[in-house]
Amino acid sequence: MRLIDTHTHLDFPDFDADRDEVLARSRALGVQRMVVLGVYQANWQRLWRLVEANEGLFAALGLHPVYLDDHQPQHLAELRDWLGKLAGHGKLCAIGEFGLDYYLAELDRERQQELFEAQLELAVAFELPVLLHVRRAHAATIATLKRFRPTHGGIIHAFAGSYEEAREYIKLGFRLGLGGAATWPQANRLRKVVAQLPLESIVLETDAPDMAPAMHPNQRNSPEYLTDICAELAALRGVTPEELATASSRNADELFGWK
């Protein structure tokens, strides 16, 4: 089985003690590629060093809305410089993580919107997919995407919206990132949506170290759990784990332009 973890934070200190072992175990289970996402300027260098040193790791760089107070105006210019410097580099696969978070009330929505739009402009300019964090902000995100129309699409990470919202994203060339959240039996509404989504729109992710799946509760999440997540979501959809692994990996390959 070949799997792709489209959303990880493997650069986080949570993995400092045993990162190499985690990567080895994940690869042994078939998780051949893992995307590591930047969240603020201060982690880009460390993240890039990590993906350059490890086969199967790929980078996305971005300014995450949850870290709004850490972002300085010059960080956008620095992001543009990084993207310019790395243009065409095989290890750079997207811009992210960025987006809109309306769940946390203290995050100024106007400033979030400015950062969101500036990074969508970069995606259009550098012809890269976008990896988006969207919490309680699907309507605003969809309206903004309709104005910017990023040509290479992207992923709505940890998708937990409605079927109708999923359809809007799919029309805009986006895939839905599914992971631990949908493995919890109490996530009834989300599980119904996941069962209905077209197979061509699904990519898998862990969001490690966050969003532990139901079969590994209260633990540090890890790409090595992606096989369990795949098996659970496949059962939910009435297909074999191999079928879901093959389809979701093909979808990710297409999105990132991987052969």
Residues that bind Zn ion (CB under 5 A): 97
Q: What are 75's two structure tokens?
A: 């960080």
CB nearer to Zn ion: pick between 97 and 168: 97
Least distance in angstroms from the C-beta of 98 to Zn ion: 10
CB nearer to Zn ion: pick between 190 and 234: 190
Nearest-angstrom CA–CA distance, 146 and 34: 29
CB nearer to Zn ion: pick between 97 and 228: 97
Least distance in angstroms from the C-beta of 159 to Zn ion: 13
> Is 149 within 8 Å of 174 (Cβ atoms)?
no
How many other C-beta atoms lie within 10 A of the C-beta of residue 30? 15
Task: Look at residue 245 and give its three-state secondary structure.
Answer: helix
User: What is the 8-class DSSP label of residue 16?
Assistant: T
176 φ, ψ (degrees, to nearest 5): -105, 125
Spatial neighbors of 66 by CB under 8 A, at least 6 apart, are 39, 101, 104, 107, 133
Look at the alpha carbons of 16, 22, 27, 33 in this order and tell me if their dihedral is positive or negative. negative
CB nearer to Zn ion: pick between 134 and 234: 134
Look at the alpha carbons of 182, 225, 130, 173 in this order and tell me if their dihedral is positive or negative. negative
Look at the alpha carbons of 151, 205, 202, 30 in this order and tell me if their dihedral is positive or negative. positive
Cβ-in-10-Å burial (0-12, 13-18, 19+) of 88 comes to exposed
Least distance in angstroms from the C-beta of 158 to Zn ion: 8
Chain centre distance of CA 42: 19
Least distance in angstroms from the C-beta of 27 to Zn ion: 21
Least distance in angstroms from the C-beta of 166 to Zn ion: 19
User: What is the 8-class DSSP label of residue 199?
Assistant: G
CB nearer to Zn ion: pick between 2 and 135: 135
Least distance in angstroms from the C-beta of 207 to Zn ion: 5
Token match 């969809």: residue? 142
CB nearer to Zn ion: pick between 168 and 205: 205
Shortest Cβ contact with Zn ion: which residue? 97
Least distance in angstroms from the C-beta of 155 to Zn ion: 11
CB nearer to Zn ion: pick between 206 and 248: 206
